[in-house]
Amino acid sequence: MSIHCSCFKDADLGVGCGRGVHPTKAAKLQLWDNGVDLLNIRGYRLSIRTFFRLFAHVQMLPILESGEETLVGGQAVMEGVMMRAPHSYCVAVRKPSGEIVTEEMPVARVSEKHSYFKWPILRGLGTLGQAMSLGMHALKFSANAALDDGTKPAEAASESKPAVSSLMMNAQVVFSLLFFIVLYKLIPLSITTYLAKWYPAIKGQFLNGLVDGLIRITIFLGFLFILSRSKDIRRVFEYHGAEHKVVFNFESGKPVNVVNAQQFVTWHPRCGTSFMFVIMLISMLVYMFIPVQGFAAKLAIRIALLPLIAGLSYELIRFAAKRRGSFLALLTAPGLWTQRITTKPPSDEQAAVAIRALDGAMALEARQGGELVIA
């Protein structure tokens, strides 16, 4: 693993690393709040504001990341982008000073470490698990980079602990998992059960699963819309758009630069937003045909079947990405429409960060002798 400060030069953007670059909008988004501390564990301090911003980013991970292991893909993070090649990883983050810092490391495919992850369904679980792990690692790096406003002396900064620790990230994972189960499993089922008391027809297995699924999708879209109103999350969505534009630019075979990247659209079929929407649709179909009675049993089966549904959804996304004109590809269309919420047109500076992340991943891939795959 290597971490460096990147200087860049671009005809449109000027020279980075503090020479001639005005602080970007990132400087206006102070992620650190000197108000009330929420956590103070082993010397780590995290404000309430920062905790909930980090929580929102963790909730966005499945929506923002691309989990396909054989293609170039990425993920938006705090003030930056993570790019993944088949055997390498690089995250680039623009600090409040305007400087771009990167972290890169080699990453083996999960199917190369364990052969059973080459099998259908299981390959989706392995790839998605690795993608989430890398996403959390990238989010931790980006949060610490974004929190570094450069006010600390160099010696003090090198000796101080990171603002966001592994302990805090693990706490976020547990909290986010519980939040996911409550928001997308418990609440839809509770509302459906309540409605069934007033409308007996909903008690039927097919209609019960349909209503439960529609409520889940409504909650999902409402949650995305609420988060999109946040200036901080909107910037993440702009970096999400930058990531998609740069990946499209790379896949087109054209030289990867800001001008070319900005010519492409911001929605991509391998996006995590499409994956989440497919999960919603597949789960609705599965629950319609499972003969389970009782609230507790229905909730338990919804949680237990989540890995299977995730694996099936991965296979469908994988198929749709390769056969975009097929009938099954139509199931991914709602996810592409939803990306109008989760992706926004990026600025040239944001596109430059995504390109820096891709360049880092591609350079490391070349040093390892890996094949640079163009979808």
pLDDT digits (tens, 9 = 90+) for 188-210: 999 999 999 999 888 888 899 99
Instruction: Looking at 68-118, list the stretches that DSSP marks H as alpha helix, in order from N- to C-terminal side.
Output: 110-113
Q: What is the pLDDT of residue 295?
A: 92
- Contacts of residue 20, defined as CB under 8 A and 6 or more positions apart, other chains included, come to 14
Q: What is the pLDDT of residue 42?
A: 42
Which amino acid is present at 197? K
Cβ pair 37, 45 in contact under 8 A:
yes
Q: Does 265 score more than 70 pLDDT?
A: yes
The domain spans of the chain are 2-367
Give the count of beta carbons closer than 10 Å to the beta carbon of residue 91: 32
- Here the tokens at position 96 are 């409040």
**Spatial separation of the C-alpha atoms in residues 356 and 203, rounded to whole Å:** 54
Contacts 24+ apart (CB under 8 A), 188-197: 188/212, 188/213, 188/215, 188/216, 188/219, 189/295, 189/298, 189/299, 189/302, 190/295, 191/215, 193/295
Q: pTM for the complete prediction?
A: 0.78
pLDDT digits (tens, 9 = 90+) for 125-184: 888 888 888 888 888 888 888 776 665 554 444 555 556 667 777 777 888 889 999 999
**Spatial separation of the C-alpha atoms in residues 335 and 337, rounded to whole Å:** 5
What is the rounded average pLDDT of the residues 337-346?
A: 89
Instruction: End-to-end CA distance of the chain: give it in Å, rounded.
Output: 27
Confidence of residue 123 (pLDDT cuts 50, 70, 90): confident
Of 76, 49, 102, 98, nearest in space to 234 by CA: 76
